[in-house]
């Protein structure tokens, strides 16, 4: 059952050892942003048709290079290049390409996948600024169709707002 928007709830992350004993790893209050899941449209699928898969992967690699030099670095795995590929597979689908992410990892459920990480509004803004830096000159670097840039940025704002889980 969905949680009411703007409410907090307790979250315990448990894992099982090889002896099937559950251990609590994390317990904290989880914030649900007002407004619920993203309400805006997905980015225009012309973005993928124009850019192509290789350029989406290049864009996400550059984005992860920005993240690597940001204060968000500790939230990510050691292998940032591999992490960028996983993210690129998600964005290929979001931008109108094949469902690469779902084929490999199952349904995206991005909010659930991000719950273990404390994401507040400040961290969200850092994430968005990293993306903004990568999107500067994206038409030249990646063949990004500039007529769809505003819609893509609006999607990123809405999507990232839903990842916020700490007030």
For residue range 57-72, what is the model confidence (pLDDT) as tens digits?
A: 999 999 999 999 999 9
| Non-local CB neighbours of 56 within 8 Å, separated by 6+ positions | 48, 88, 91, 92, 95, 97, 142
| Non-local CB neighbours of 96 within 8 Å, separated by 6+ positions | 43, 44, 45, 46, 47, 48, 49
Using alpha carbons only, give the angle 164, 106, 13 rounded to the nearest 5 degrees: 50
Q: Domain range spanning residue 55?
A: 36-163
Mean pLDDT (the chain) is 89
Confidence band, pLDDT 50/70/90 cuts, at residue 10: low
88, 132 in Cβ contact below 8 A? no
Residues 145-152 have a mean pLDDT of 98
CATH of the domain at 53: 1.10.490.10
Domain assignment present for residue 138? The answer is yes
The pLDDT score that the predictor gives to residue 37 is: 83
pTM score, whole prediction: 0.83
Residues 2-8 have a mean pLDDT of 50
The pLDDT score that the predictor gives to residue 17 is: 41
Q: What phi and psi values does residue 91 have, to the nearest 5 degrees?
A: -70, -30
Domain assignment present for residue 22? The answer is no
The pLDDT score that the predictor gives to residue 20 is: 45
Least confident of 38-42, 144-148, 149-153: 38-42
Number of independent structural domains in the chain? 1
């Amino acid at each position: 059952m969905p949680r009411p928007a703007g409410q907090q709830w307790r979250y315990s992350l448990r894992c099982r050892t090889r002896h099937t004993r559950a251990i609590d790893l994390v317990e904290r209050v989880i914030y649900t942003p007002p407004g619920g899941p993203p309400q805006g449209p997905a980015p225009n699928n012309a973005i993928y048709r124009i850019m192509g898969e290789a350029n989406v992967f290049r864009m996400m690699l550059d984005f992860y290079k920005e993240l690597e030099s940001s204060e968000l670095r500790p939230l990510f795995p050691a292998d940032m290049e591999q992490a960028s590929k996983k993210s690129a597979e998600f964005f290929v689908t979001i931008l109108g390409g094949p469902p690469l992410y779902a084929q490999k990892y199952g349904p995206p459920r991005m909010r659930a996948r991000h719950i273990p990480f404390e994401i507040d509004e400040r961290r969200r803004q850092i994430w968005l600024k990293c993306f903004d830096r990568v999107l500067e000159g994206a038409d030249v670097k990646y063949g990004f169709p500039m007529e769809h840039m505003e819609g893509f940025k609006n999607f990123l704002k809405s999507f990232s707002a839903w990842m916020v889980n700490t007030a």
